[in-house]
Chains A and B, each alone.
Chain A
Amino acid sequence: MSWMNIELVLLIVLPAVIAVIMAFSSSFKQRTRNILAVTGAGIELCLVFSLFLLNFEAVKSSEFFLQFTTGYSNTPFVINFAMDNLSLLFSLIVTAAVFLIVIFSTQYIRDKESRYFALFFLVLASIQGSILTADLFTLYLFIEAITVFTTPLISFKKTEKTTRAALQYFFYGITGGVFFFISIILIYFNLGTLKMAAVADSFALISTPMQLTIIIFFLLALLIKLGIFPIHFWLPRAHSACPAPISALLSGVLLKVYLYIFMRLFWTMIAFDFLVELHLSAFVLDLALVSSLIGHVFALQADELKKMLAYSSIGHIGMILAVLMLNTEAAFYGGLLHIIAHMMMKSGLFLSSGYLLRTTLSHHIDDLKGIGHKNRLVFIAFIIICLGTIGMPPLIGFVSKWFVLLAFLEARHYFGAFVVGAGSIIALIYYLRYISQAYETVKTENKTLREELVSLKVFFKSTNIMKNVIYLFTLLIIIFGLSYQFFEMPINTAIFELLNPQKYIELVLGG
């Protein structure tokens, strides 16, 4: 009932309103629609960023906490929204990435834009919702919403391949959702509440076999959604079938949102000690590491550029999940930093692959001959981002991988350390395969790099906007690689939340 934290609901409602307007915008001029989309995402970003800046002192001392209750606050079944440092960090990086992807897609998508943007903003609304909510049922609702809204976006180009990929994605997404729902039902029948904080308070009261069932179903749901090894095969198909901005959204942003939900569930709601007690944490750790290795190995044999990138995503997500399961402060630091790094790198890679593949016959490696000569500057950006994912020193990929490696070594988990190193080396091989192919033919055009840079002067021409987004991602990767300390404060406060879930629980239940 407080005026104070109304922003939390606005963060969810604003994209929904824009989506509704967008769905009706088929008669708008293209320019109007683009401006509307970019301002909408921009306002969202400004809102989150202002939350960060206005509460800077509170964030710094990790006391930051906003919450909002809809309806009658004295009833037992109100819907809560809560934002702590962890949510703030994720909300901020996700919105920033989505903002850049929106700018890219205003130029990239050339037909049926109104429906595209409607669904895109609905996805943004559900992402924000699933990050901010403090209620299990609302979380389930938003997770399902993400699946439902992204499926048509995957089959945006209507071909047999994309339809198959989308249906498979939908099937596995819904299956994961059903597992999630079973857990929610079990929790409700045992505890009679769906507030995450209340569940956290009394989870220990449930009998041990029941706890095991609940945790296993939650794990199954999230492992399916994250694309961890035994159930990973839908991911490369889905992530490579869709248009480039959607690939960037799925691979760069959505997987991180699921990682956030994983952390919310298994550190805040169900204390991590339960996982250790039930011997599940070691199992998930090994599974994630195997998944990481398999993802990298499969990327070696992928003959399509986007499929290769998707397999590499499996590798990175597995590594992040594994390092989080170590449950030490250093591990969280490495994991969160790599989440940020991977978000930037994978979004950049998918967007630049979308730009590069506009002119080629197909996505197959044989058709990529000479694209390095045709789009020189973009391809150089592509190479730089690739080096970032491999882990070259001045880039942010190196920093985050370094911390992940340190965390594994500190925990004396040598298999994990091996996977990090091996993954990098395998990644080097499969990226080099594509890079050498791109420079296969002899140079034909005589445009020099300098001329290409000069042609950038027309900054807002449609192709240049796409290029500029890619360059921006590249620059961010270089800049943050040099000054990764920038993230130190937000990440440390987020780690504080993970290590002290008691704060979240008390504040939600108390207020």
Chain B
Amino acid sequence: MEIPTETQPEVESLNKLMKKTLVSVVLAGVALALYRSFALMPGYQGLNLGLSNYIIESGLKDTGSLNLITAVLYDYRAFDSLGESTVIFGAVSGIVLILSRKMLPVSSKGLSFIVKRTLGIMTPFIALFGLYIMSHGHLTPGGGFQGGVILAAISIIFSIVYGSAFDYRRYSPQTKTALETGGALTFLGLGLAGILMEGAFLQNLGFLTAETGTLISAGSIPYINIGVGFKVGAGLAIIFYSMIQKTFEEDF
């Protein structure tokens, strides 16, 4: 009886040690193999320089967007962006499907009076900033995804500072779903408009272009940005709400 009680921990620790050594040996082998083949990769200089040169030279001319990243995201490879935002849309649907519960933990207390008042003054500016980032995506750094995240942050701050009941009453999930769907339909609608007016899906709409550098320029890019922004913002807010919901079994 005494022997196992003494040796058991030792054997276990030995087993653990064996396992660890084995794992590290295997990992080291894989790392070596990967290094051997990745070392063959041509250096950064070998990359296709024509691509970046092309974007820098004729990105502005083609799209009218000063922000070349936005030009690539929403014009050259707009279809991939559509796919990505569809993935967000699907993820929101999936999370709501999995986590949908009837109950919201009602905490209407929130934080202290000082925080509440300060945030009350700041909120419009945060919203303005989010909208600015969204609508100026073709002129300055930023765009629909970034602006949408800022808008979603407002919703999250609200439910922390004022209590979740407040935000829930103000902007019900139905409103958020409507905003999300509206954003997605804007994106898709602009794509279909591209087919009708320019002959290619998501083609930049010619009649919307104006002088470079003004707010309403760069064809359909700003509108796509706004659509994506609302979609991402509402989507993230919905995800946040699905995650803070509780079941009856969980204790409060």
Contact = CB atoms under 8 A, between A and B. Distances in A.
* B is a partner of A: yes
Given A9-B201, A70-B201, A24 B177 contact: yes
Interface string B67-79: 0000000011111
Interface residues of B, number: 48
Interface in A1-22: 1-3, 6, 9, 13, 16-17, 19-21
Contacts of B146: none
Nearest to A133: B79
Contacts of A328: none
Interface stretch (B9-17, B95-103, B134-142): B95-103
Interface string B184-200: 11001001100100011
A141 interface: yes
A488 to B, nearest CB: 35
A20 B181 contact: yes
Interface residues of A, number: 56
B232 to A, nearest CB: 14
B42 interface: yes
A199 B41 CA distance: 16
B188 A20 contact: yes
Nearest to B47: A192
B54 interface: yes
B91 interface: yes
A151 interface: yes
Given A138-B79, A212-B37, A119 B90 contact: yes
A69 B78 CA distance: 12
A118 B93 contact: yes
Contact of B40 (A71, A79, A145, A210): A210
Contact of A119 (B37, B84, B97): B97
B83 A138 contact: yes
Q: Is the interface of A mostly helix, strand, loop or mixed?
A: helix
Most A C-beta atoms less than 10 A away, residue of B40, B94, B191? B94
Nearest to A8: B201
A293 to B, nearest CB: 28
Nearest to A185: B41
A6 B191 CA distance: 12
A186 B47 CA distance: 11
A158 interface: yes
Contacts of A145: 83, 86-87, 90
B180 to A, nearest CB: 8
B219 to A, nearest CB: 12
Given A148-B94, A210-B37, A193 B48 contact: yes
A144 B98 CA distance: 19
A76 B90 contact: no
A132 to B, nearest CB: 11
Given A20-B188, A152-B95, A70 B78 contact: yes
Most B C-beta atoms less than 10 A away, residue of A71, A77, A137? A71
Given A112-B100, A148-B87, A209 B40 contact: yes
Contacts of B77: 71, 77, 79
A149 interface: yes
Contacts of B159: none
A137 B83 CA distance: 11
A115 interface: yes
A19 B38 CA distance: 41
A282 interface: no
A155 interface: yes
Nearest to B40: A210
Nearest to B36: A209
A263 B164 CA distance: 51
A24 B178 contact: yes
B185 A20 contact: yes
Interface string B36-65: 111011100011101100100000001000
Contacts of B42: 189-190
Contacts of B90: 19, 118-119, 122, 145, 148-149
A70 B200 CA distance: 6
Interface string B88-129: 011101111110100000000000000000000000000000
Contacts of A402: none
Given A17-B188, A141-B83, A186-B41, A70 B89 contact: no
B203 A71 contact: yes
A72 interface: yes
B51 A76 contact: yes
Nearest to B81: A141
A156 B94 CA distance: 9
A78 B76 contact: yes
Contact of A77 (B36, B46, B51): B51
A227 interface: no
Contact of B86 (A16, A68, A79, A158): A16
A145 B185 CA distance: 19
Interface in A141-164: 141-142, 144-145, 148-149, 151-153, 155-156, 158, 163
A497 to B, nearest CB: 24
Top 9 A-B residue pairs of the complex, sorted by shortest distance between their CB atoms: A192-B48, A152-B94, A9-B201, A213-B37, A115-B97, A24-B181, A149-B90, A141-B83, A20-B184
Interface of A: 1-3, 6, 9, 13, 16-17, 19-21, 23-24, 68-72, 75-79, 112, 115-116, 118-119, 122, 125, 129, 137-138, 141-142, 144-145, 148-149, 151-153, 155-156, 158, 163, 186, 189-190, 192-193, 207, 209-210, 212-213
14 contacts: A3-B199, A6-B200, A23-B89, A76-B50, A79-B80, A115-B96, A119-B90, A138-B79, A138-B80, A153-B97, A158-B98, A193-B48, A207-B40, A212-B37
Interface of B: 36-38, 40-42, 46-48, 50-51, 54, 62, 75-80, 83-84, 86-87, 89-91, 93-98, 100, 177-178, 180-181, 184-185, 188, 191-192, 195, 199-203
